[in-house]
Structure 1
């Protein structure tokens, strides 16, 4: 079992306005009344009929295709990294306000979401796919066009695609395409809930984006081969994008709700050529504008704060997550987010805005004992600092933690800083022997501890010759090798990423490096890692067909390497994640219906009729 690193968090508090006194409620689609569903469809049609505005600040003027086109242009930077969640939260907020501005959707309600995890084995039976609403999940059209519903062929035309991101050159180039594979299932609610266990945003994004599959599965499985929803760039052509991403945002929201510290935990880019405001700290990352939209990341961390104002309803897929150990919260050194404004000379709104912004830090003093029942009005966390944890060598530690006896040291204690994203595979209560073995292989092959000290780096990532010392986990060492290749070594994670000599590094993330050939396309590089192989469980039925048995789950389709790379994910990690998923499903299937009875827990495993 990979060791679980305990995290101690130092938080800083700053006063926040109580602007959100009556938050909108975002409800699960199947909990809406027929009249509310009809109103939502009318609002989407009204928004789709607006002319493109070409701007992204004023949602009352934005059109449906504005969202499609800016998502297409910024797809690379908005996926596969820390900005994924805040970027899409900004997009959903602007979309929600745009819908309300049509007059067809009430201002008291948020955008609905589709909790498909509650009906993962028969999601296509949802009335979302009825002729009354958004048309069938499958298509009989030769081009895969949607033929029924509000966005059917002849009623709706997809956005113009000047960059060619859609990749379609034959057949009807204007219709919405959706053609899900019949019987392809989605990850069930229990599997998805596993990803709520991480104790930091770094680990949360690492588990659910770099090696997870719930977000990508929703796109690929529902969109189908050649479907617009399956295309990482132009997926907002399909109205199901917003129902799916409402669910995705709720997932982040659910993780945040577990601990007050989680609401402000964010670490983003470590080095980026197009974000000169970033100097490697998590506060600098929070001060960056998200692509396209007029918000800095710090504006988007609290759903009921001074910028956003919404919350989510409970849905049938809300399986109770494993309890987490909340980081400690202190209120000693207040460093709130700066007040921000755009430089009037900065007219380019469709890129990450770094230089076109002015910042005026405001530092109100908040006494540590001043928090009372009005704590909701205080932004408790603005900076997150992970502290070291000491582990014993040569056997289990005094508190029963994992032994590091096989790691060579000079003797004494080992200090472990941070936690490798690969540890998120671990689950002390549900891990199978096969999974434990593969996790052990991950630990052995990639490393999870710094055994003999730590290299240090400057805030910009340049290596310096100093004595071994611990540095915050947003730093790294950039080394030019003899063959002119570059090695990125993370100071808190025992891993490296190799970038070939011909590539120039553009951005460094906590789990990947973006680089570019001169004048060529961007490419993302990942740490080398072993690929987990699927090991069948002899006690479990194999190749279960969706809907064929009342107690057994079918395997979700794997995410292809082609799609993983388009979404800026590691192919090896996605492949390994799917192997682990199949082994967990085998374990579930082997444990259920052995006596011909159906366990009551199946309401949380995809058999709920919404």
Structure 2
């Protein structure tokens, strides 16, 4: 049995007070250029209750720490992370740098790493970064054990607000969309969209022979399943990280990419033909995403190039 939210919150609050009294180190602990030092990622369901509690406590810690950025609307350190995403997503002005671009998967791989660094360096987390094995729950996210432990689905009678679990009645400061209006975390599930995570689509994605085809096939299927299937905050392209489930979803997508890379060594550095660095053509002309494309997370941790991000084996 996992501890109750009220008890865990008191423990986390005391831990946060201790953390604020000491400096933190934010740096990308990247592995060597030969891809021989893997970063561990694990299925959420393989964690023990104590390990799950440690993860929840670290996430609640980020939700309690004050912001360290100047991103509009942010209040907490977790908001800094969500804001780094919203500032580089599609506002409708054609300025998306992370989604409708060639570096979609690479940018989110580094974003998962940024989340991991904050959990470890600022909130003392020592466990592996978990993912939600959505293939197993395809077509029935409402019955998912993983999602249930994160509070389950929102119900119409509660305006789809999450009222159970560690993130019950959680106020979100960013969004909806380009606005910043404090609201409670919501999930409005679409079971049809959850079918996009099933074996047929999983196999279709992994059958692609080039990275360009892999990324373009994954985006409207497995990627869409997690966002539109869960719905609510998760469905908003700008502020979907408002929902802590976002990080389990994208760590899963990263695992799928790792699996595709690992099936063929020549794929580790394959990013050819993925697309352009920007959503809209700049005055200086289109620039294709390349190994030298820079990924920025609003200085939460240092920038990195796509070259470093293709070399990111994950042990599972």
Q: TM-score, normalised by structure 1?
A: 0.40
Q: Does 1:218 align with 2:226?
A: yes
Quick one: structure 1 residues 159 and 197, their matched pair in 2 at CA, closer, same or farther if it must change by over 3 Å? same
Q: Matched residues in 2 for 1:144 and 1:91: separation? A: 27
> Counterparts of 1:449-464 in structure 2 under 5 Å?
none
The answer on whether the counterparts of 1:128 and 1:135 sit within 8 Å (CA) in structure 2 is no
The answer on whether the counterparts of 2:174 and 2:239 sit within 8 Å (CA) in structure 1 is no
Aligned to 2:163: 147
Q: Does 1:208 align with 2:218?
A: yes
The answer on whether the counterparts of 1:275 and 1:288 sit within 8 Å (CA) in structure 2 is no
Aligned to 1:43: 58
Quick one: structure 1 residues 34 and 26, their matched pair in 2 at CA, closer, same or farther if it must change by over 3 Å? same
The Cα RMSD (Å) is 2.9
1:84 paired residue among 92, 104, 119: 104
2:199 paired residue among 189, 195, 205: 189
How far the C-alpha of 1:77 sits from its partner, in A, is: 2.1
The answer on whether the counterparts of 2:210 and 2:270 sit within 8 Å (CA) in structure 1 is yes
Quick one: structure 1 residues 271 and 296, their matched pair in 2 at CA, closer, same or farther if it must change by over 3 Å? closer
How far the C-alpha of 1:136 sits from its partner, in A, is: 2.1
Aligned to 1:247: 252
The answer on whether the counterparts of 2:102 and 2:276 sit within 8 Å (CA) in structure 1 is no
1:73 paired residue among 87, 91, 96: 87
Q: Greater CA radius of gyration, 1 or 2? A: 1
Quick one: structure 1 residues 135 and 17, their matched pair in 2 at CA, closer, same or farther if it must change by over 3 Å? closer
Aligned to 2:8: none
Q: Secondary structure at the match of 2:172?
A: coil
1:52 paired residue among 67, 70, 73: 67
Q: Matched residues in 1 for 2:308 and 2:81: separation? A: 20
Quick one: structure 1 residues 19 and 166, their matched pair in 2 at CA, closer, same or farther if it must change by over 3 Å? same
Aligned to 1:27: 42
The answer on whether the counterparts of 2:226 and 2:249 sit within 8 Å (CA) in structure 1 is yes
Aligned to 2:9: none
Deviations 1:521-565 (A, max 9, x none): xxxxxxxxxxxxxxxxxxxxxxxxxxxxxxxxxxxxxxxxxxxxx
How far the C-alpha of 1:237 sits from its partner, in A, is: 0.3
> Counterparts of 1:119-198 in structure 2 under 5 Å?
119-130=137-148, 133-153=149-169, 156-161=170-175, 165=177, 173-181=182-190, 185-187=194-196, 188-198=198-208
Q: Secondary structure at the match of 2:50?
A: helix
Quick one: structure 1 residues 299 and 22, their matched pair in 2 at CA, closer, same or farther if it must change by over 3 Å? closer
Q: Matched residues in 2 for 1:217 and 1:43: separation? A: 26
> Counterparts of 1:413-562 in structure 2 under 5 Å?
none
How far the C-alpha of 1:84 sits from its partner, in A, is: 0.6
Quick one: structure 1 residues 141 and 238, their matched pair in 2 at CA, closer, same or farther if it must change by over 3 Å? farther
**Structure with more relative contact order (C-alpha pairs < 8 Å, separation 6 or more):** 2
Q: Matched residues in 2 for 1:200 and 1:181: separation? A: 31
Q: Does 1:110 align with 2:128?
A: yes
Q: Matched residues in 2 for 1:236 and 1:275: separation? A: 31
Question: Aligned pairs, how many?
Answer: 268
Q: Which has the higher helix share?
A: 2
Aligned to 1:594: none
Q: Matched residues in 2 for 1:21 and 1:206: separation? A: 28
Structure 2 portions without partners, runs of 5+: 1-30, 90-95
Aligned to 1:258: 263
Structure 1 portions without partners, runs of 5+: 1-15, 57-61, 305-310, 314-610
Quick one: structure 1 residues 252 and 221, their matched pair in 2 at CA, closer, same or farther if it must change by over 3 Å? same
Q: Matched residues in 1 for 2:57 and 2:191: separation? A: 28
Q: Matched residues in 2 for 1:124 and 1:142: separation? A: 16
Q: TM-score, normalised by structure 2?
A: 0.75
